[in-house]
Each structure stands twice: as structure tokens, then as C-alpha cells.
Amino acid sequence: MRIFSGIQPTGRKHLGNFIGAIEQYVHHQDQGEAIYCIVDLHATTVRYDPTELRERLYDTAAILLAAGIDPARAIFFRQGDVLEHSELAWLLSSVTAFGDLNRMHQFKEKSGAQRDLASAGLFTYPVLMAADVLAYRADTVPVGDDQRQHVELMRDIAQRFNARFGETLVVPRGVYREIGARIMDLQEPARKMSTTGGTEQGTVYVLDDAATIERKFKRAVTDSGAEIVRRPDKPGISNLIEILAAVTGRSFEDVERAHAASRYGDFKAAVAEAVVERLQPVHERYDALRADEPALERVLREGAEKARAIAAPVLVDVRRAMGVGPVG
């Protein structure tokens, strides 16, 4: 089984990324042939600074390695290093319905936030994402809940390609964590935790120090009443239960039972402590990894070579099926 996922190099990675995606990547390394990519081409679709992009890319690479991605077991690379992604995106755009792209929630959210330019790249973002996965004939795509619509679209694109040009691509399946696929903002638990859409105090970053993490949880919005249970009218407490369950690998029921007699304040402190404990080894490894940019660069380049060895023959098949480029 082949696994593929991508992560943006923009902004700082937060607890939602860590629980919903990064922990899954590490887990899936042992489940099959895992391929992980930092998507710098996607990052150019919104306003950005080129120098910053490189810095954030190294930050992201170091976070993923610190979290446990092992380049000896998984292919780990930078999207922009493998030109096949861009070419396949163009070719797939011909079997992508304009109307489908027009329905993408993420485009609507992000384009509204761009004051100077809502780019065509932002609109076709999901086609590049489909190309990322389909270039490797990956079977599964571990992502957070907010990527469901994009995964459905890539399935449609693969199916439409195969129907029109003959069986060429694998139709991938999204994989979502049962606990932690959608971590909410600590200040506004009706919104997902996010670098762009959330609140600063309600977003816990992977690299926040222990004191900052404790403060953010202490100030987390809770609900009226005193019970520690997951219920639709208790979004704040439900989110904290979910975070605690995810970072400790326990069930919701376990967490609810263990804290049935706790007060909100004590419960929040317990969640903070578990998150700090979970992130501490990541912090320790991060500093050493981030300090050595040439080593990060080496890892990414070696990963790109392995990635290209898989993607290039797929592109040969795609070109042949579509009648594009030289014969043979």
C-alpha cells in the first residue's frame, strides 16, 4: 500500500496540524510505503514573501523530522523539486470540471481574504493537490477533516481520467483520524484551529514553549455548567476532551471517566500538561535539526530523487494515454 500526504510550508504548524496530520504521517510510515511532501508550490497561490518561504520550509521540514518522520523509512521531499507535479497538474486540469473547482470551500474562504489578488493558482490549487497524489498512484491520503472536499475531487479527477483515457491512475482514498481530525480554536471553539482563520491566543503552536501552552489552555473558553462530557452544547470542553484523548492515545470515554470529578480549571491544567509532555521531545529534537540547513537540504534532495523515480514513469503513462509529447 502506498501512502501520500502533503503539508504547507506557510505559517507555524499548530496542534491541529500535529494531531490531525503529522502524528498520522509518523504512524503510517510503518503501514506501507509512505511519501510526504512539503508543498511550496501551493504556498505561492496566496500573497507571500520568497525569502520567508524558504525559511518556513526549513521550519516545517525540521518539525516533521523532529516529530518522527524518518527519511530512511519514508520518502520526504519538497514539491518544487519534482517537476512532474506541475506538468501533471496541467494535464489533469483538462479533466477537471470548472464547476467543481467553483464549489471548493477553501477557495471561497481564501480568495475572500486576498485583498490585492485572488489568483488563478488559488482556484486551481486542488488540481495541483490531485497531481501530488496521482503522480505516485497512492492508495491512501492521511489528512485532517478540512481536506475532505479536496480528496473527493481528486478521486473524481482520477476516475474521469481513467474513463476517458483508459485505466492509468489509482483512485486514492482519504484517511481521517477518528479522534483529532478537527481540532478547534481554544478561544472560539466553533472555528477550527488555524494559522490564518483562528485567534492567536486560541492557537497552540507546536513550537510554543511550556509556559505559553499552559497559559493558552488556562484561558481556553469553556462552557456553562460543570460537567466534563462531550456534547454539542459544550464545544469548548468537547474540544479539550478530544485534544487530551488524541495526545495520550486514550478513548473519549476514558478521558471523561478519569475527569468526571475534576473542576474545569484542573481539567484544563491536565490537558496543558499532557500537551507539553507530548511536545517536549519534539522541541528538543527541533532545535538541532533546524540549525543545520545544509543537512535539511540534503534530506529533501535525496527524497526528491526517490520521488522522481516513482513519478516520472507515471507521467510517461499519462502522456502516452493523452497523446501528448513524443511517441514512445
- Give residues in contact with ligand TRP (CB under 6 A): 4-8, 39, 42, 129, 132-133, 141, 143, 147, 150
Of 240, 205, 289, nearest in space to 17 by CA? 205
- β-partners of residue 38 are 7, 78
Chosen from ligand TRP, ligand AMP, none, partner binding at 217 (C-beta under 5 to 8 Å by type): none
Helix (H, G, I), strand (E, B) or coil at 222: coil
CB of 151 to ligand TRP, least distance (A): 7
The stretch among 46-54, 186-194, 213-221, 268-276 that binds ligand AMP (CB under 6 A) is 186-194
CA triplet 11, 21, 84: central angle to 5 degrees? 75
Of 147, 149, 225, 219, nearest in space to 188 by CA? 219
Contacts of residue 315, Cβ cutoff 8 Å, sequence gap at least 6: 84, 87, 88, 135
Q: Is the dihedral of CA 156, 102, 105, 56 positive or negative?
A: positive
Residue 204 and residue 30: Cα distance in Å, rounded? 28
Chosen from ligand AMP, ligand TRP, none, partner binding at 86 (C-beta under 5 to 8 Å by type): none
Chosen from ligand TRP, ligand AMP, none, partner binding at 20 (C-beta under 5 to 8 Å by type): ligand AMP
- Cβ atoms of residues 265 and 38 within 8 Å: no
Q: What CA–CA distances, in Å, run from 116 to 46, 47, 51, 111?
A: 10, 8, 20, 10
Residue 67 and residue 61: Cα distance in Å, rounded? 10
Cell of 230: 462531550
Please report whether residue 17 would count as binding ligand AMP according to CB under 6 A.
yes
Please report whether residue 182 would count as binding ligand AMP according to CB under 6 A.
yes
Can you tell me which of 45, 124, 140, 147 binds ligand AMP, judged by CB under 6 A? 147
Chosen from ligand AMP, ligand TRP, none, partner binding at 141 (C-beta under 5 to 8 Å by type): ligand TRP
The stretch among 143-151, 163-171, 219-227, 271-279 that binds ligand AMP (CB under 6 A) is 143-151
Q: Which is nearer to ligand AMP, 95 or 274 (CB)?
A: 274
Q: Which is nearer to ligand TRP, 5 or 238 (CB)?
A: 5
Residue 273 and residue 144: Cα distance in Å, rounded? 24
CB of 157 to ligand TRP, least distance (A): 12
CB of 26 to ligand TRP, least distance (A): 15
CB of 14 to ligand AMP, least distance (A): 7
Can you tell me which of 3, 4, 16, 220 binds ligand AMP, judged by CB under 6 A? 16
The stretch among 46-54, 166-174, 181-189, 275-283 that binds ligand AMP (CB under 6 A) is 181-189
Q: Residues interacting with ligand AMP, by CB under 6 A?
A: 7-8, 16-17, 20-21, 143-144, 146-147, 181-183, 192-194
